[in-house]
């Protein structure tokens, strides 16, 4: 099938490449000319495991091409996926300017029947908006071409995006047009060969499903983070509690890890956007407001522990940092909790030596003015003469380090672990002062009580 994918970011590139993998003829558009040039030279603008080889294979077979020519891209695919960004506006609502621009492009250039499939995460009602924008362009051109609009939100996770796309647990399809539905069922058939995983519904329900899924997952994480903070005070171990509750199939084991707060390009903005939608419709989502607040506080918990351990005076101190990306297996730095920590430590007059297996170039791009932050060549290389190590991302490479070597390199054997990578008793035996999240506190607990008792902006203010 001839398919166009508008937007060559995390979702667009993965969608285009996976569709090409099953033999479709895919043209991927981006208005960022430098991105298209890079892709046409064989480069890949993002890090996603397996993506580079897959792009290479499909380009070589001429099933996957990249362009910045809008007219060409609209002419190419009967199916036009929109996979552009929907970043937050200042008030938390989703900024739809890129979606609207893509719809305008389609309306200006289409001459035959098109199925416009929205993969971007968009507020309920955007399908109607996209339809209106295209219809207005067609009217201006005096053209009566027919088209269908479909909501097909994407559920892939960065770091596991190819697997998620190739073996989806469901494909949500908001579609009210029979021809479009037949075409998309045919397109997705190879991805759901063994199970019928396509959930056909109306457009509004499909649009809402995406926000509901992210809201539910973010809620789980924030609740676990708050339970972890309480476990620390009570002398309980959140890891044991996690196993204890996960065994209940109604709860399940996935997505129950306490940590430094959720980040990334989806949860923070989607939790905000859904609340905004509710507010615009005259109701409040009180649970989600609390989730957002708890996450903001959680990003500061590790900072408060560092502050308490060093009696508030961090000027002149030097920290090693393992992990910059918001999660492992990605170079995405959008809303990464590490950025909050870095900003704070540097503002206090501390210096940082950081290592991340893939996100250092992106970190440099998003924090170009972070003087006092330097990057090292490997996990051990950044430990030299650091007053403490802070772990912010659970990369596999950090899981079984040589503790004896670490101890020799660090000037103080102190680890603040935001991802609970190690066993507290074992670390104590190795001679480390170890501060995990919600686990056994062998050393006097460094508890960010202010954050837990005082849910005010003041308590979150780290200065
Ligand atoms: P991204 O920022 O990585 O990529 C968006 C791309 O679209 C950019 O390259 C940009 O230049 C391009 N673009 C903008 N306007 C364009 C236009 N008019 N024509 C062509 N290209 C245009 O974004 P992303 O992370 O891929 O997210 C895309 C959408 O998918 C968002 O709505 C997001 O919420 C949603 N989503 C993201 C993920 C994820 O893990 N990143 C997962 C599921 C859903
Ligand atoms: C998320 C959704 O999972 C995905 O379905 C959607 O399409 C896009 O948004 P992503 O942001 O790529 O995917 O990563 P995810 O694995 O969901 O992690 C999000 C954040 O939650 C990360 O900061 C991660 O560290 C944190 N997290 C996740 C936890 O703190 N604990 C957990 O148990 C799981």
* 315 and 455 together in one domain: yes
Looking at the domain assignment, is residue 405 inside a domain? Answer: yes
pLDDT grade for 443, boundaries at 50, 70 and 90: confident
**Mean pLDDT computed over 298-313:** 94
Pocket test for ligand 1, best of 85, 106, 160, 331 (most atoms within 8 A of CB): 85
For residue 18, indicate whether it is catalytic: no
* 321 and 177 together in one domain: no
Q: Give me Rg for the CA atoms of the chain.
A: 24
> Which pLDDT does position 453 carry in this prediction?
56
Q: What percent of the chain has pLDDT over 70?
A: 96
End residue of a domain, out of 201, 223, 246:
201
Q: Is 15 annotated as a binding residue?
A: no
CATH number at residue 24: 3.40.50.720
* Per-residue exposure over 76-91, b if at least 16 CB sit within 10 Å of its own CB, e if not: bbbbbbbbbbbebeee
> Which pLDDT does position 151 carry in this prediction?
98
- The residues, any chain, with a CB within 8 Å of residue 68's CB and separated by 6 or more, are 29, 30, 31, 32, 33, 36
- What is the number of the ligand closest to the CA of 330? 2
* 316 and 192 together in one domain: no
Task: Indicate if the pLDDT at residue 448 is higher than 90.
Answer: no
**Mean pLDDT computed over 428-457:** 75
pLDDT grade for 442, boundaries at 50, 70 and 90: confident
* 9 and 93 together in one domain: yes
* 185 and 302 together in one domain: no
Our answer on whether the CB atom of 191 is closer than 6 Å to any ligand 2 atom is no
* 283 and 421 together in one domain: yes
> Which pLDDT does position 365 carry in this prediction?
97
Domain that holds residue 169: 2-201
* 177 and 31 together in one domain: yes
* 139 and 286 together in one domain: no
**Mean pLDDT computed over 328-338:** 97
End residue of a domain, out of 201, 236, 257:
201
Our answer on whether the CB atom of 99 is closer than 6 Å to any ligand 1 atom is no
Instruction: Write out the two tokens for 420.
Output: 């609970």
* 301 and 166 together in one domain: no
* 218-271 per-position pLDDT tens digit: 999 999 999 999 999 999 999 999 999 999 999 999 999 999 999 999 999 999
Return the sign of the alpha-carbon dihedral for residues 249, 262, 173, 193. Answer: negative
| Beta carbons of 284 and 276 less than 8 angstroms apart | no
* 141-153 per-position pLDDT tens digit: 999 999 999 999 9
Predicted model pTM: 0.95
Query: ipTM of this predicted complex?
Result: 0.98
pLDDT grade for 455, boundaries at 50, 70 and 90: very low
Looking at the domain assignment, is residue 240 inside a domain? Answer: no
Looking at the domain assignment, is residue 207 inside a domain? Answer: no
**Mean pLDDT computed over 108-128:** 98
CA distance 131 to 138: 11
pLDDT grade for 462, boundaries at 50, 70 and 90: very low
Tell me the C-alpha to C-alpha distance, in Å, between residue 115 and each of 106, 107, 171, 326: 10, 12, 17, 35
* 376 and 454 together in one domain: yes
CA distance 166 to 117: 18
* 182 and 292 together in one domain: no
> Which pLDDT does position 390 carry in this prediction?
98
Looking at the domain assignment, is residue 245 inside a domain? Answer: no
- What is the number of the ligand closest to the CA of 225? 2
* 303 and 450 together in one domain: yes
Q: Which range among 19-33, 166-180, 188-202, 437-451 shows the weakest confidence by mean pLDDT? A: 437-451
Looking at the domain assignment, is residue 154 inside a domain? Answer: yes
Question: Across all residues in the chain, what is the average pLDDT?
Answer: 95
pLDDT grade for 193, boundaries at 50, 70 and 90: confident
- Looking at the structure of the chain, the number of domains it has is 2
* Per-residue exposure over 49-60, b if at least 16 CB sit within 10 Å of its own CB, e if not: bebeebbeebbe
Looking at the domain assignment, is residue 250 inside a domain? Answer: no
Instruction: Write out the two tokens for 264.
Output: 């990334």
Looking at the domain assignment, is residue 212 inside a domain? Answer: no
> Which pLDDT does position 194 carry in this prediction?
77
- The residues, any chain, with a CB within 8 Å of residue 186's CB and separated by 6 or more, are 1
End residue of a domain, out of 175, 201, 227:
201
> Which pLDDT does position 463 carry in this prediction?
38
Our answer on whether the CB atom of 86 is closer than 6 Å to any ligand 1 atom is yes
Q: In this structure, how many other beta carbons lie within 10 angstroms of the beta carbon of residue 347?
A: 12
Task: Indicate if the pLDDT at residue 450 is higher than 60.
Answer: no
Q: How many angstroms is it from 7 CA to the middle of ligand 1?
A: 6
Backbone angles phi, psi at 21, to 5 degrees: -55, -30
* 237-248 per-position pLDDT tens digit: 999 999 999 999
Looking at the domain assignment, is residue 262 inside a domain? Answer: no
């Amino acid at each position: 099938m001839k398919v166009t994918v508008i937007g060559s970011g995390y979702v667009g590139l993965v969608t285009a490449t996976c569709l090409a993998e099953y033999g479709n003829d895919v043209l991927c558009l981006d208005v960022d000319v430098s991105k298209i040039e890079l892709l046409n030279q064989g480069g890949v603008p993002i890090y996603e495991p397996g993506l580079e080889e897959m792009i290479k294979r499909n380009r070589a077979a001429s099933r996957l091409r990249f362009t910045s020519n809008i007219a060409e891209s609209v002419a190419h695919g009967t199916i036009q996926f929109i996979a552009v960004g929907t970043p937050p506006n200042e008030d938390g609502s989703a900024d739809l300017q890129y979606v609207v621009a893509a719809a305008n492009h389609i309306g200006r250039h289409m001459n035959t029947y098109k199925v416009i499939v929205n993969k971007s995460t968009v507020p309920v009602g955007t399908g109607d908006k996209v339809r209106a924008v295209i219809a207005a362009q067609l009217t201006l051109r005096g053209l009566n071409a027919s088209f269908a609009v479909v909501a097909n939100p994407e559920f892939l996770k960065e770091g596991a995006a190819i697997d998620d796309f190739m073996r989806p647990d469901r494909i949500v399809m908001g579609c009210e047009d029979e021809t479009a539905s037949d075409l998309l069922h045919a397109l997705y058939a190879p991805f759901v060969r063994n199970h019928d995983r396509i959930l056909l519904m109306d457009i509004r329900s499909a649009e809402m499903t995406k926000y509901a899924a992210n809201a539910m997952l973010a809620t789980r994480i924030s609740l676990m983070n708050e339970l972890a903070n309480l476990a620390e005070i009570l002398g309980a171990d959140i890891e044991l509690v996690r196993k204890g509750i996960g065994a209940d199939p109604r709860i399940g084991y996935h997505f129950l890890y306490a940590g430094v707060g959720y980040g990334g390009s989806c949860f923070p903005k989607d939790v905000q956007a859904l609340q905004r939608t509710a507010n615009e419709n005259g109701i409040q989502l009180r649970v989600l407001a609390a989730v957002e607040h708890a996450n903001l506080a959680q990003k500061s918990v590790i900072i408060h522990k560092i502050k308490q351990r060093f009696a508030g005076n961090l000027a002149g101190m030097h920290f090693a940092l393992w992990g910059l990306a918001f999660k492992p297996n990605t170079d995405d730095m959008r809303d990464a909790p590490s950025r909050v920590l870095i900003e704070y430590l540097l503002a206090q007059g501390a210096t940082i030596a950081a290592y991340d297996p893939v996100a250092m170039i992106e970190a440099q791009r998003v924090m170009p003015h972070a003087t006092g932050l330097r990057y090292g060549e490997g996990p051990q290389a950044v430990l030299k003469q650091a007053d403490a190590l802070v772990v912010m991302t659970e990369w596999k490479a950090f899981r079984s380090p040589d503790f004896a070597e670490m101890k020799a390199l660090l000037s103080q054997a102190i680890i603040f672990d935001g991802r609970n990578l190690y066993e507290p008793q074992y670390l104590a035996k190795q001679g480390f002062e170890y501060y995990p999240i919600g686990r056994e506190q062998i050393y006097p607990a460094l508890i960010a009580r202010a954050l837990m008792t005082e849910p005010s902006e003041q308590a979150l203010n780290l200065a």
